[in-house]
Structure 1
Amino acid sequence: MTREQALEKAIEAVEYGKSRGLQVEFSAEDATRTDRPFLKRVFGEVAKAGADRIDIPDTVGYSTPEYFAEITRDAIEATKLPISVHCHNDFGLAVANSLSGIRAGAQCAHVTINGIGERAGNAALEEFVMALKCLQYDKKYETGIKSELLYETSRFVSKTVGIQVQPNKAIVGDNAFGHESGIHTHGVLSNPLTYEPISPELVGRKRWLQVGKHAGIHGMNAMLAEYGIKPTDIQSKQILDKVKNLGDQGKQVTDVELLSIASNILGEKGIKRIVQLTGFSVSTGIGTMPYAFVKLNIDGKDFIGTDYGVGPVDAALNAIQKITGQISELKIKDYGLASISGGSTALCEVTIRVEDGQGNSVSAKSIGEDIVTTSVQAVIDGINRIMLKKMLNQKKIQN
């Protein structure tokens, strides 16, 4: 097809849509790799044919922000119509190109939650919205998006479509508001803006601290304080030394392990357990759906949960979530399983993260021979810690 034939087809398509009473947005496929004068000519001709708006697609994510701004201005000049931009992320520039188009005069950007899309994805709604809301521009942009619902929406979409959000993703990634480095945790505890561009609550998040080989005393003590633990300076150093030793071995130090280390050094028998596992069984087999029965004692009251799952572990965790969802809106956010020895009697290591309705999260780890039992124990440990944290926070508010 020649250029003239392509132009003729574009005009015919617009005229056909208008003849049927439709609103027509003309989208020039692969616009950013098209000869610029020809692209501008096409935009002008389809506008004359009756197009209501123009879309500029960066179909293979090939443009730079500077060039995208130039062709956006070309489209505005040639058509005097509202302009949309549709950017792909093949070179990681989808959001930058979308912002560039908007700043050059475009009125609409095509975006997707979590940046989900063909190949490397599209411009991420959450990044685009927060950039317009928070970055310094010469004018103010309003999107009408409730930013405090961004994280909840991201998690819902991720779970629904089965595509996990990478931990280091901006705005909605697990690590976006997480801190481990001693310098960073000290700074963010003194003034959050030191190492955070925005408040996590603005996007429905909570700040979290983690201990590891880069941890410092201030951050570690802040984590312990959430559980009502206040070690002396000497005890803090002893706890930190053990934490760093684990971190140097390449191990992730969970909240439960930190509390266990602190408990040993402080000479306490253990941290209060609000949740006790008092009954547990699973059934599974070929031709039957895995089923679990769980009985928990929560702060002196007995609760029973039963549920099915795709496997015995899933069934057991579903049964636990049935109970905790009624009591405290607790959810099992992440689940990881690893083998740490070989053979049929191999030990397994289960790491989980539990989250409450306010976005507070706690990690826990358990090691054992039976995958199902070990998984249940890890979850119960995590639930205990997050409920203890919540109980202490409520006491602080009351006082």
Structure 2
Amino acid sequence: MSDNNKVIIFDTTLRDGEQSPGASMTRDEKLRVAKQLEKMRVDVIEAGFAIASQGDFESVKAIAEAVQNSTVCSLSRALDADIDRAGEALLNANSGRIHTFIATSPIHMKYKLQMQPDQVVAQAVHAVKRARNLIDDVEFSLEDASRSELDFMCRIIEQVIDAGARTINIPDTVGYAVPEEFAYTIRQLIERIPNADKAIFSVHCHNDLGLAVANSLAAVGAGARQVECTINGLGERAGNASLEEIVMAIRTRKDMLGVETDIDTTQIVPASRLISSVTGFPVQPNKAIVGANAFAHESGIHQDGVLKHRETYEIMTAQDVGWNTNRMVLGKHSGRAAFRSRLDELGTTFATDAELNSAFARFKELADKKHEIFDEDLMALVSDTRAAAASEKFKLSSLAVTSQTGETPLAKVVMQVEGEEVQAEAMGSGPVDAAFKAIEAIASSEAELQLYSVNAITQGTDSQGEVTVRLENGGRIVNGLGADTDIIIASAKAYIHALNMLDANIQKAHPQV
């Protein structure tokens, strides 16, 4: 395809997506996601905000060193320290980008920055020049662009392009725009700015009014050639434009949009499952493209039509986006080679043989309980294995729960605390509540339970349950994950995983602070 017909896909799941409360990822989890995004042929991976914390810096650095076929990007405010830290994190990248930004709307300049427009322009130009001294690929964003004055945007964009910015991002930071208005803004900027042809125009839309994808596509129609988006639409508040919806709309309606992407769409569903598993944010069943019901037909009229001719009610195939591309079902007679091969196909690799052996042992245990093991089971099993491997202070030895009609449930738990066996028991309003209280009697974390979520991974009464437990303590929020065919055990695993993450005390500052 010609450069003018290609839309660059800029994935910000690891940066903006991670800003969702409770969605923080560990360094290893970020690496797994980044490798999946690379496998999907994402053009630019925004790996984090290098100055936000030491953890974010190390994640950006690790991803920059591991990813070879996508550009790795770090966000930075228009401040010297931010830019220098981003440059340091990207030092060993095969292809790196610094993405610097400053607010340009009257309300942000007056109340947040407390700066005059001339000062904002000067700082933006200085930031771009400093970034260009460190790296060739510099992107500049006008924060809150959808509420900024058009004349001022033209002025600042012209100057930052002269300073060396090669991508100009127009974010709808608060999800305020509507498609016709947003397209008009993009079109006006491209037409009015004298050196607009020296930069690629990008958009980054939030979903506060449910218009992020519509606004992004309208902008593409107006000349934008980069779209910033996230897997599953993950992001703070109502989220970001959904990558899978953007990509499949471009592919399905090429007749209207006239553009293409380089994305391998068969990797969309594996990426969606990975993000859901890592963050603990389940995908709603009716979510476009990746929801469980996205290609389901229950209406008799629809079923009849699809049986006669698929395109009567389907505008794309499930296989196009990665549903059911391989129906190999593993079981207790499956060997290590088949196990490893299927996980490779799902985008999951193991850093060491010990990690593979641990996961395979858990697979065999699961196969004794469950006749057929599906892809969803494997992804949950791997997440559970890694959660257990990351555990240090607390480990579950045994759990016994008594629950009977008319009686208060009782849980008895035995845990290893730094290698020493400790026991406790507690009553609760239900078996899970009793188990959590017994664990807390040992841990004494004083953490507040913010979320308890259970998802059946596959159909059937022998399905694994995947549990997410979100704990908050002293301003820190962590997600614990656990999976088991016994939902009480899965819940205990998730709670203990969260406790170990709190104990690790990895600080992550919010990038906007």
TM-score if structure 2 supplies the norm length?
A: 0.44
Using the alignment, how far apart are the partners of 2:259 and 2:406 within structure 1? Answer: 60
Residue 143 of structure 1: aligned partner: 261
| 1:353–1:364 Cα contact (<8 Å) kept | no
Residue 173 of structure 1: aligned partner: 291
| 2:172–2:205 Cα contact (<8 Å) kept | yes
Q: Specify which of 220, 232, 241 is matched with residue 123 of structure 1.
A: 241
| 1:76–1:82 Cα contact (<8 Å) kept | no
User: Greater relative contact order (Cα 8 A, min sep 6): structure 1 or 2?
Assistant: 2
| 2:244–2:289 Cα contact (<8 Å) kept | yes
Letter in 2 for 1:155: R
| 2:140–2:169 Cα contact (<8 Å) kept | yes
Distance 1:5 1:158, change over 3 A: same
Q: Specify which of 155, 159, 169 is matched with residue 41 of structure 1.
A: 155
* Secondary structure, aligned partner of 1:56: strand
* Structure 2 residues not aligned, in runs of 5+: 1-114, 326-330, 333-356, 381-403, 410-429, 432-453, 463-483, 488-513
Using the alignment, how far apart are the partners of 2:156 and 2:323 within structure 1? Answer: 45
Residue 396 of structure 1: aligned partner: none
Using the alignment, how far apart are the partners of 2:158 and 2:232 within structure 1? Answer: 34
Q: Specify which of 139, 142, 152 is matched with residue 25 of structure 1.
A: 139
Letter in 2 for 1:44: E
What percentage of aligned pairs have identical amino acids? Answer: 42
Q: Specify which of 396, 399, 406 is matched with residue 343 of structure 1.
A: 406
TM-score if structure 1 supplies the norm length?
A: 0.55
* 2:365 is equivalent to residue 319 of structure 1: yes
Once the 2 structures are TM-superposed, how far is the Cα of residue 364 of structure 1 from its aligned partner? 2.1
Residue 345 of structure 2: aligned partner: none
Using the alignment, how far apart are the partners of 1:121 and 1:39 within structure 2? Answer: 25
Deviations 1:83-138 (A, max 9, x none): 11111111111111111112211121111111111211111111111000001534
Using the alignment, how far apart are the partners of 2:320 and 2:121 within structure 1? Answer: 46
Using the alignment, how far apart are the partners of 1:149 and 1:99 within structure 2? Answer: 21
Distance 1:43 1:190, change over 3 A: same
Deviations 1:303-328 (A, max 9, x none): xxxx999xxxxx99982247869x86
Once the 2 structures are TM-superposed, how far is the Cα of residue 23 of structure 1 from its aligned partner? 2.6
Once the 2 structures are TM-superposed, how far is the Cα of residue 17 of structure 1 from its aligned partner? 2.2
Residue 219 of structure 2: aligned partner: 101
* 2:120 is equivalent to residue 6 of structure 1: yes
Deviations 1:29-84 (A, max 9, x none): 00000112211221122222332221111111111111221221233231222111
Once the 2 structures are TM-superposed, how far is the Cα of residue 169 of structure 1 from its aligned partner? 0.5
Using the alignment, how far apart are the partners of 2:373 and 2:133 within structure 1? Answer: 57
Distance 1:343 1:308, change over 3 A: farther
Once the 2 structures are TM-superposed, how far is the Cα of residue 24 of structure 1 from its aligned partner? 2.0
* Secondary structure, aligned partner of 1:164: coil
| 1:351–1:365 Cα contact (<8 Å) kept | no
Using the alignment, how far apart are the partners of 1:331 and 1:53 within structure 2? Answer: 38
* Secondary structure, aligned partner of 2:232: helix
Distance 1:329 1:182, change over 3 A: closer
Residue 232 of structure 1: aligned partner: none
Residue 165 of structure 2: aligned partner: 51
* Secondary structure, aligned partner of 2:176: coil
Letter in 1 for 2:365: A
| 1:114–1:154 Cα contact (<8 Å) kept | yes
Distance 1:192 1:44, change over 3 A: same
Once the 2 structures are TM-superposed, how far is the Cα of residue 18 of structure 1 from its aligned partner? 2.7
Distance 1:139 1:163, change over 3 A: closer
Residue 182 of structure 1: aligned partner: 300
Using the alignment, how far apart are the partners of 1:190 and 1:343 within structure 2? Answer: 54
**RMSD across aligned positions (CA):** 4.1
* 2:251 is equivalent to residue 155 of structure 1: no
Letter in 2 for 1:178: A
Residue 460 of structure 2: aligned partner: 364
| 1:158–1:164 Cα contact (<8 Å) kept | yes
| 1:324–1:330 Cα contact (<8 Å) kept | no
Using the alignment, how far apart are the partners of 1:45 and 1:351 within structure 2? Answer: 51
Report the number of matched residues: 258
* Secondary structure, aligned partner of 1:188: helix
Distance 1:323 1:173, change over 3 A: same
Deviations 1:353-384 (A, max 9, x none): 53xxxxxxxx3248xxxxxxx9579xxxxxxx
Alignment of 1:1-399 (within 5 A): 1-77=115-191, 78=193, 79-80=196-197, 81-138=199-256, 140-206=258-324, 319-321=365-367, 331-332=376-377, 343-344=406-407, 352=456, 354=458, 363-365=459-461
Distance 1:321 1:66, change over 3 A: farther
Residue 382 of structure 1: aligned partner: none
Deviations 1:130-176 (A, max 9, x none): 00000153453221111112112211121122211111100000111
| 1:64–1:97 Cα contact (<8 Å) kept | yes
| 1:30–1:57 Cα contact (<8 Å) kept | yes
Distance 1:198 1:344, change over 3 A: farther
Distance 1:187 1:33, change over 3 A: same
Using the alignment, how far apart are the partners of 1:317 and 1:17 within structure 2? Answer: 48
Deviations 1:187-220 (A, max 9, x none): 222222222221111112259xxxxxxxxxxxxx
Letter in 2 for 1:364: G
Distance 1:130 1:110, change over 3 A: same
